């Protein structure tokens, strides 16, 4: 009964920003009329639409026999069955033609300003072949798993592509994770080889990485070989017979020796990637060859409107899905120029991103709300030091972007005119699902806008019936798409129960959302995080956005705290703008502010000021940890993906002082 109660929408929609009509002519999708036609066509004839896209975007060694075989019961989905292709061929070899082979494929900016490396398609091809030959010598074959635990250095991209060349399945583990997180991921995928580095350079410091790998490998019987890239100058102990240096291995390879690519079936596994762990134990999401690459290339092209001359920069770490799809596979499949950055946005100053945009004249820039909020906190002066005039399209991913942060981004980075594509998607979806198209979609700050052509996103109630306009509910996708996950590695039961058991004939995203009268999606947060106050069920995103809209606040996270009478009451964690000190007046002011912005029902009963919030390494707030703190529990569940465990200790203390 209570489950059927609506999730209420509290947010008042604000302004609309219209797309630049002058750019429509050259755009991949040039207006809403065109969008509507594409969307209708793709929904009515998905096999025709996706079959055409796969043929246009990829090179196939032999044609697929069927576009889609779908069975929601098993569940099993096969895209482009019988088609043969190779990912590294599509990202490299086919670009080795006049006019493209000498184009920059990868522009790498190291953490130290002077460390820059540029790889043309030809150069990247050479390095990938050399490293693929190294892996081959180590016995890596088609279907074998290779774990990559590396910082944001070009060798990571090279290693990924080398795996795909051989048909080996990579499993990337973010270099910020602990040895325990690494161990469990290597063990789960039974990788044969680990590629790592001596160190990570981060915010001016050298952080040893190899000791974590050594610790993890104590308990990873599957790993036979470990290859180490030298990035730092720290001492490293090497285990005889197991460990070797990347440079020694690669220098033993003939510089000009090619490595033939394997012809892979469209449904052969491509990579395993563990989800961020925001809601619980990370899931080993499996993506396969043909569908994933088609979808990554397709969405890169349509959502970012990538053109041949563009310099495209996605600031994500390759250790999470955004980096896989939008630093490496999507852009390289299209033959674009992709920027890869080793450092952080705040070091040496909170203008590093803008400096890089100016330096490389970046045209398309894709980042996360957590970055925008952090930079907002430092003040907009930092954005004025550089010329951002090269920018054309801005993007956001990872969490709902609060309208306040959206407007700041639009004004200070976009010069008040650039389109912002707020892209909703998940590790599981392989690529972007709901997003504006930059020269077509009118934008509403805070909304991811419309589903991409062919993506059948819906909001439903628990019983599967459609939710009305603005009624919060479960976000589902009730038609297959090429980039969808194929299983949870080693756990088909969890695959079925997590994604396909909730709603018959549909993929369940686990997010709460509403759709407004214009068909625009507003993500309200995780369904696990929905707060129930006196029978009113509210998403977290909207209350947090109201708090962030206050001039003194840069970040907020709200959770439900158990309450005898109301069921739950709202507990907010708030981070203030740099230099602001909390006091009682501000506390009262914030409560009054939320009451005015949303209404009395959304007013936080408790507000705890915090310097930092517990976040996953990909920058998402881990509300389940915050909820445990207010419940007074120390059973935090899986926190292996937590960025800074120290934050939690501080928050527990702050909570004790408050309650
Ligand atoms: P886990 O599944 O292990 O809990 P996770 O869901 O955080 O981890 P990801 O796959 O990295 O792992 O994140 C996907 C989630 O991020 C989405 O389900 C959604 O909640 C959130 N998200 C991503 N992009 C957006 C966006 N543009 N707007 C709102 N939410 C977003
Ligand atoms: Mg998830």
pLDDT (tens digit, 9 = 90+) per residue, 509-536? 999 999 999 999 999 999 999 999 988 9
pLDDT band at 644 (very low <50, low <70, confident <90, very high): confident
Query: What mean pLDDT comes out for the span 617-621?
Result: 86
pLDDT band at 198 (very low <50, low <70, confident <90, very high): very high
User: Of ligand 1's atoms, which has the minimum distance to the CA of residue 427?
Assistant: 10
| β-strand pairing of 393-397 with 420-423 | parallel
What pLDDT is recorded for position 656? 87
Integer distance in angstroms from the first to the last C-alpha of the chain? 32
- Ligand 1 site, residue 400, Cβ cutoff 6 A: yes
Query: What mean pLDDT comes out for the span 93-98?
Result: 98
What pLDDT is recorded for position 76? 98
Q: Name the residue of 188, 426, 637, 641 to mutate for ligand 1: max ligand atoms within 8 A of Cβ.
A: 426
pLDDT in tens, 319-346: 999 999 999 999 999 999 999 999 999 9
pLDDT in tens, 420-454: 999 999 999 999 999 999 999 999 999 999 999 99
pLDDT band at 1 (very low <50, low <70, confident <90, very high): very low
Assess contact for 131 and 162: CB atoms under 8 A. yes
Exposed, middle or buried by CB within 10 Å (0-12, 13-18, 19+), for 563? middle
pLDDT in tens, 123-177: 999 999 999 999 999 999 999 999 999 999 999 999 999 999 999 999 999 998 8
d(CA 397, CA 431): 11
d(CA 149, CA 197): 8
User: Of ligand 1's atoms, which has the minimum distance to the CA of residue 422?
Assistant: 27
- Give the tokens for residue 207: 């952080």
pLDDT in tens, 568-577: 999 999 999 9
Residues of the chain with pLDDT > 70, as a percent, come to 99
CA distance to 152, 348, 635, 637, per residue, from 112 (Å): 13, 9, 40, 37
Expressed in angstroms and rounded, the spacing between residue 572 Cα and the centre of ligand 1 is 21
pLDDT at 45 over 90: yes
CB atoms within 10 A of CB 490: 13
Query: What mean pLDDT comes out for the span 68-86?
Result: 98
Three-class SS of residue 555?
strand
| β-strand pairing of 284-288 with 269-274 | antiparallel
Expressed in angstroms and rounded, the spacing between residue 279 Cα and the centre of ligand 2 is 7
- Residue with the smallest CA separation from ligand 1 atom 23 is 398
- Give the tokens for residue 637: 């569940």
CA 102 from chain centre, in angstroms, equals 30
pLDDT band at 4 (very low <50, low <70, confident <90, very high): low
What pLDDT is recorded for position 657? 86
What pLDDT is recorded for position 323? 98
Expressed in angstroms and rounded, the spacing between residue 426 Cα and the centre of ligand 2 is 6
> Any known ligand binding at 164?
no
- Give the tokens for residue 292: 């994933």
Query: What mean pLDDT comes out for the span 555-581?
Result: 93
Give 376-403 as a DSSP string: HHT-GGGGGGS--TT--EEEEESSPPPH
Query: What mean pLDDT comes out for the span 91-108?
Result: 98
User: Of ligand 1's atoms, which has the minimum distance to the CA of residue 277?
Assistant: 3
- Ligand 1 site, residue 526, Cβ cutoff 6 A: yes
pLDDT in tens, 268-296: 999 999 998 877 788 999 999 999 999 99
> Any known ligand binding at 195?
no
What pLDDT is recorded for position 643? 82
For CA atoms 247, 253, 258, 263, give the dihedral sign: negative
- Ligand 1 site, residue 276, Cβ cutoff 6 A: yes
d(CA 412, CA 398): 21
Query: What mean pLDDT comes out for the span 42-68?
Result: 98
Q: Name the residue of 399, 402, 520 to mutate for ligand 1: max ligand atoms within 8 A of Cβ.
A: 399
Exposed, middle or buried by CB within 10 Å (0-12, 13-18, 19+), for 235? exposed
pLDDT in tens, 204-252: 999 999 999 999 999 999 999 999 999 999 999 999 999 999 999 999 9
pLDDT band at 401 (very low <50, low <70, confident <90, very high): very high
- Ligand 1 site, residue 426, Cβ cutoff 6 A: yes
- Ligand 1 site, residue 8, Cβ cutoff 6 A: no
For CA atoms 362, 363, 366, 369, give the dihedral sign: positive
- Ligand 1 site, residue 179, Cβ cutoff 6 A: no
Three-state secondary structure along 310-354? CEEEECCCCCCHHHHHHHHHHHHHHCCEEEEECCCCCCCCCCHHH
Expressed in angstroms and rounded, the spacing between residue 497 Cα and the centre of ligand 1 is 18
Those residues whose beta carbon sits under 5 angstroms from the ion ligand 2 are 275
What pLDDT is recorded for position 12? 67
Q: Name the residue of 368, 398, 483 to mutate for ligand 1: max ligand atoms within 8 A of Cβ.
A: 398
- Ligand 1 site, residue 523, Cβ cutoff 6 A: yes
Find the ligand nearest to 529 CA: 1
Give the residue carrying structure tokens 């708090």. Answer: 547
Residues of the chain with pLDDT > 90, as a percent, come to 88
> Any known ligand binding at 173?
no
Expressed in angstroms and rounded, the spacing between residue 424 Cα and the centre of ligand 1 is 8
> Any known ligand binding at 66?
no
Expressed in angstroms and rounded, the spacing between residue 643 Cα and the centre of ligand 1 is 16
Give the residue carrying structure tokens 């892979």. Answer: 264
Higher pLDDT, 620 or 70: 70
pLDDT in tens, 337-387: 999 999 999 999 999 999 999 999 999 999 999 999 999 989 999 999 999
- Residue with the smallest CA separation from ligand 1 atom 26 is 424
- Residue with the smallest CA separation from ligand 1 atom 5 is 276
> Any known ligand binding at 454?
no
């Amino acid at each position: 009964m209570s489950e059927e109660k609506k999730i209420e929408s509290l947010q008042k929609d604000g302004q609309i920003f219209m797309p630049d009509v002058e750019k429509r002519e050259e755009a991949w999708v040039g207006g809403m009329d065109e969008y509507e036609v594409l969307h209708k066509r793709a929904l009515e004839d998905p096999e025709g639409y996706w079959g055409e896209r796969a043929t246009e975007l990829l090179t196939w060694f032999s044609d697929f026999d069927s576009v889609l075989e779908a069975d929601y019961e098993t569940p099993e989905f096969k895209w482009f069955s019988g088609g043969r292709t190779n990912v590294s061929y599509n990202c490299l070899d086919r670009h080795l033609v006049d006019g493209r082979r000498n184009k920059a494929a990868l522009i790498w900016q190291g953490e130290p300003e002077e460390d820059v490396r540029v790889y043309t398609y030809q150069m990247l091809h050479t390095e990938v072949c050399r490293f693929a030959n190294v892996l081959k010598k180590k016995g890596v074959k088609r279907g074998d798993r290779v774990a990559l635990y590396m910082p944001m250095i070009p060798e990571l991209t090279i290693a990924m592509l080398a795996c795909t060349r051989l048909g080996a399945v990579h499993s990337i583990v973010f270099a910020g994770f602990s040895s325990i997180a690494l161990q469990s991921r290597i063990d789960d995928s039974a990788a044969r080889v680990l590629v790592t580095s001596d160190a990570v350079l981060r915010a001016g410091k050298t952080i040893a990485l190899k000791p974590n790998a050594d610790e993890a490998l104590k308990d990873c019987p599957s790993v036979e070989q470990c290859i180490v890239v030298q990035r730092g100058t720290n001492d490293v102990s090497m285990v005889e017979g197991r460990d070797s240096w990347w440079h020694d291995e690669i220098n033993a390879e003939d510089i000009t020796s090619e490595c033939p690519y394997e012809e892979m079936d469209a449904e052969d596994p491509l990579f395993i990637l563990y989800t961020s762990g925001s809601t619980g134990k990370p899931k080993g999401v499996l993506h396969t060859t043909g569908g994933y690459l088609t979808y990554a290339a397709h969405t890169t092209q349509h959502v970012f409107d990538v053109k041949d001359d563009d310099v495209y920069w996605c600031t994500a770490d390759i250790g999470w899905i955004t980096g896989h799809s939008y630093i490496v596979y999507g852009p390289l499949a299209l033959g674009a120029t992709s920027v890869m950055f080793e450092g952080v946005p705040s070091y040496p100053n909170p203008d590093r991103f803008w400096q890089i945009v100016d330096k490389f004249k970046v045209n398309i820039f894709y980042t996360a709300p957590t970055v925008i909020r952090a930079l907002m906190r430092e003040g907009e002066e930092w954005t004025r030091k550089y010329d951002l005039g090269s920018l054309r399209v801005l993007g956001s991913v990872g969490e709902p972007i609060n309208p306040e942060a959206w407007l700041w981004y639009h004004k200070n980075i976009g010069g008040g005119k650039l389109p912002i594509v707020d892209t909703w998607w998940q590790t599981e979806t392989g690529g972007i699902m709901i997003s504006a198209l930059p020269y077509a979609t009118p934008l509403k700050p805070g909304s991811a806008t419309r589903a991409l052509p062919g993506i059948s996103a819906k909001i439903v109630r628990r019983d599967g019936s459609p939710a009305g306009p603005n009624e919060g509910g479960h976000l589902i996708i009730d038609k297959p798409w090429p980039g969808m996950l194929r299983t949870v590695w080693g756990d088909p039961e969890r695959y079925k129960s997590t994604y396909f058991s909730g709603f018959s004939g549909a993929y369940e995203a686990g997010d709460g959302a509403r759709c407004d009268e214009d068909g625009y999606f507003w993500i309200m947060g995780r369904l696990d995080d929905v707060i129930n106050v006196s029978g009113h069920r509210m998403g977290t995103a909207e209350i947090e956005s109201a708090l962030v809209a206050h001039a003194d606040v840069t970040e907020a996270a709200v959770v439900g705290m158990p309450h005898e009478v109301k069921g739950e009451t709202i507990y907010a964690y708030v981070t203030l703008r740099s230099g602001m000190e909390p006091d009682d007046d501000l506390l009262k002011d914030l409560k009054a502010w939320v009451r005015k912005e949303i209404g009395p029902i959304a007013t936080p009963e408790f507000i705890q000021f915090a310097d930092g919030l517990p976040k996953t390494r990909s920058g998402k707030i881990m509300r389940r940890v915050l909820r445990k703190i207010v419940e007074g529990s120390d059973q935090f569940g899986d926190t292996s993906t937590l960025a800074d465990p120290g934050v939690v200790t501080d928050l527990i203390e702050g909570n004790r002082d408050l309650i």
